[in-house]
Structure 1
Amino acid sequence: MLRNLIVACWVRKIWGFEVSESVCDVSNGAQREELMETVSFVCDGKLNILINNVGTNIRKPMVEFTAEEFSTLMATNFESVFH
């Protein structure tokens, strides 16, 4: 978190941009809703750039996935993109 604060201060000083961050479990619908409310409030309803850096992997053949593993994989890598 300190690194992010340092980067935000550096960007503000060099280029004059405001930078903020949020952490969210994108596979969790309630957390996605909370993130959107926070972004709307912090950015006054206007978001210029969004970097969504998310993804997960399970290192075994897909036919060996449990139902829970499959759900987690789909919620994180697929469903979260649309919300």
Structure 2
Amino acid sequence: MYLSMKIVSYMKKDDVVAGGDIALSCAAGAWLGVDEVMIFLLISSVIFLLYSIPYRFKGTVFVPMGPALSAGFFICLLRVI
């Protein structure tokens, strides 16, 4: 994830993903295990897309991804338990 963040940031000439998002994703992946990581990322991405649409219509450039990662982690955690 860190490498993909650096590549996209270099291409866009701007910070795209913050380090906290990567740390949260890594911690969630370590907690959930290898089996659930892809589902966690998929659910988090869908949640992020859904809740970032209103921000984009308002013209907001920066939309935090942390809440979507937390919600995706919580959903996957409920699935595991």
TM-score, normalised relative to structure 1: 0.29
Q: Which has the larger radius of gyration?
A: 1
Larger RCO: Structure 1 or Structure 2 (Cα < 8 Å, ≥ 6 residues apart)? 2
TM-score, normalised relative to structure 2: 0.30
Higher normalized helix content (fraction of residues): 2
